[in-house]
Amino acid sequence: MTARTHAKAAAWTVALFLICYFLPVGKARFDGALLEAFHLVRWYAREHVLLCLVPAFAIAGAIAVFVRQGAVMRYLGPKAPKALAYGVAAVSGSVLAVCSCTVLPLFAGISRMGAGLGPATAFLYAGPAVNVLAIILTARVLGAELGIARAIGAIIFSVVIGLCMHLFFRHEENAKVATAEMPDAPPSRAPSEDILFFAALIAVLVFANWGAPSGTASFWDTIHGIKWWLTGAALIAVVILARRRHGELGAWAGESWGFARQILPLLLAGVLVAGLLLGRPGHQGLIPEDWVARMVGGNGLGANLFASVAGALMYFATLTEIPILEGLLGAGMGKGPALALLLAGPALSLPNMLVIRSVMGTRKTLTFVLLVVVMATISGLIYGSI
C-alpha cells in the first residue's frame, strides 16, 4: 500500500471514530429520527417490495430474456427515429403507475438491451411522472390549474431531459451508434404472444398497486374495488403464457434475480437514510417539517429551488405526494414551489439516485438530477409568476 492509501484509510478510520464518539444517542430529535428511519424502511419492505418491485424485477428480467435486442434498438436505440423513441418514452407513465423506485428495474432492463441514453432517461423520468391517475387526482384535490400544469410540464420535461442527456453525452452515444448494427434473430414465437405476455406482467404490476383516489364513486374507485380479481386474472395469464417458455424460465429467473441483487440493497439503504433525514409523512426526521414549510413559502427563486431539491431527495410512493402537498399548501406554500415539487418529487428520490448511479455512473446521474432540479425550479418560477 502506498503512503496515500494509508493516509486515506487513516482519515476514514478517524472520521468513523468521531462519528461514533459524538453520536447524539439519547437526544429526542435523533432517537425519533432513527425510529422514523426504521419505520419507513419497514413500511417500504411491506408495501412496495412484494407488490411493486417483485413484478418490476420480473418485467425487467423478461425484457432481458424474451425481447429481441433488435426490437429495443429499433424503437429506443440510438438510431431510432427521435419522434418515435421519445414519444414511446414520454407516454410510458400513462400505462405504468409506478413510483421513482419501481421504474428502476425497467430502466436498467432497457438500458442493458441497448436503448439510447436519451430515450432511456426520458423513460426514467416519465415512468413515475406522467401518471394519468396522479394527474387526475392532482386536479381534483389541488385544483385543475395545477393538474394541467403538472401534466404539460411532466411530458415536456421527459422529452427535454432525454434530449439534453443525449446532447451532453453525444460522443458516447455516437460510439454506441457505430456498434449498433447487429443481426436480428428470427422470432421464436408470434409477436402477439410476446405482447400478451408483457401486457399480463404489466397488468399484475398496475392492478396490484391500484390505490383508491377518493371516497366518491368513480371509475377509478370501481377498479380499486376489484383490483385483486384483476390482479389474480393477470397472474393466471402470466402462468399460462410462461408455460410456453419452459426452456427459458431459468434464464428469466436468473435475470430477474440479477436486477434484484443489484437494485434492492441500494434502495433499502436509501430509504433508511431518507427516513432518518425527512421521516414519514406526518412524522419528523432530523429535518423539521415546519422548517420545510417555511422554506417553500412564496414564489421566489429560493423557495422554488428548495422545493425542487427537497422533492428530489424525499421518497414519494405513488400518489402520496398529493396529500403531502395539500398540507404544505395549507401551511403557506406558494403555487410555484408546489409545481416544482410535483415535477421533481415523483421522478427522483435519494434511493432512486443510488440505483441510477449503479446503472449509468456518477457523471450521468448528477447530470440527470441537476436537469430535473433546474427545470423544476424554472417551471415553478414561471408558474408562480402567472
Quick: pLDDT tens for 197-254. Answer: 888 988 888 888 777 655 555 677 788 888 899 999 999 999 998 887 777 888 889 9
pLDDT at position 232:
93
Instruction: Give the mean model confidence (pLDDT) for residues 90-102.
Output: 69
Distances (CA, A) of 232 to 49, 50, 61: 18, 15, 21
**What's the mean pLDDT when you consider all of the chain?**
82
CA distance linking residue 50 with residue 45, whole number of Å:
8
Three-state secondary structure string covering the chain:
CCHHHHHHHHHHHHHHHHHHHCCCCCCHHHHHHHHHHHHHHHHHHHHHHHHHHHHHHHHHHHHHHHCCHHHHHHHHCCCCCHHHHHHHHHCHHHCCCCCCCCHHHHHHHHHHCCCCHHHHHHHHHHHHHCCHHHHHHHHHHHCHHHHHHHHHHHHHHHHHHHHHHHHHCHHHHHHHHHCCCCCCCCCCCCHHHHHHHHHHHHHHHHHHCCCCCCCCCCHHHHHHHCHHHHHHHHHHHHHHHHHCCHHHHHHHHHHHHHHHHHHHHHHHHHHHHHHHHHCCCCCCCCCCHHHHHHHCEECCHHHHHHHHHHHHHCCCCCCCHHHHHHHHHHCCECHHHHHHHHHHCCCCCHHHHHHHHHHHCHHHHHHHHHHHHHHHHHHHHHHHHC
State how far the Cα of 279 lies from the Cα of 134, in Å rounded to an integer.
22
Residue 155's identity, in one-letter code, is I
pLDDT tier at 183 (50, 70, 90 boundaries)?
very low
173 versus 25: which is more confidently predicted?
25
- Res. 165: pLDDT tops 90: yes
Residue 376 confidence (pLDDT) above 90: yes
- What pLDDT does 375 receive? 93
Share of the chain above pLDDT 70, in %: 89
- Is residue 338 scored above 70 in pLDDT? yes
pLDDT of residue 93: 58
Q: According to the model, what pLDDT value does residue 297 have?
A: 77
The whole-number pLDDT of residue 141 equals 76
How far apart CA 303 and CA 294 sit, in angstroms, is: 9
Distances from the Cα of 158 to the Cαs of 152, 161, 318, in angstroms? Answer: 10, 5, 18
Q: Is the model's pLDDT at 59 over the cut of 80? A: yes
For residue 371, the model assigns a pLDDT of: 95
pLDDT of residue 100: 73
Of 131-135, 175-179, 380-384, which gets the smallest average pLDDT?
Answer: 175-179
Given a cut of 70, whether residue 307 has pLDDT beyond it is yes
105-114 pLDDT, tens digit per residue, is 888 888 888 7
Separation of alpha carbons 98 and 67, rounded Å: 21
pLDDT at res. 33: 85
pLDDT of residue 184: 53
pLDDT at 374: 94
Question: Out of 13-27, 88-102, 121-135, which region has the weakest mean confidence (pLDDT)?
Answer: 88-102
Identity of the residue numbered 40: L
Chain center to CA of 272 = 17
Closest of 29, 115, 36, 83 to residue 281, by C-alpha? 36
pLDDT band of 161, cuts 50, 70, 90: very high
Q: How confident is the model at residue 346 (pLDDT cuts 50, 70, 90)?
A: confident
> Which pLDDT does position 280 carry in this prediction?
73
Closest CA to 163 of 102, 103, 266, 83: 83
Residue 298: strand pairing partners: 333
Question: Which of 89-103, 104-118, 255-269, 363-377 shows the lowest mean pLDDT across its residues?
Answer: 89-103
- Looking at the chain, the whole-number percentage of residues with pLDDT higher than 90 is 14
**pLDDT tens-digit series, residues 112-159:** 887 888 888 998 898 887 777 778 778 877 888 888 888 888 888 889
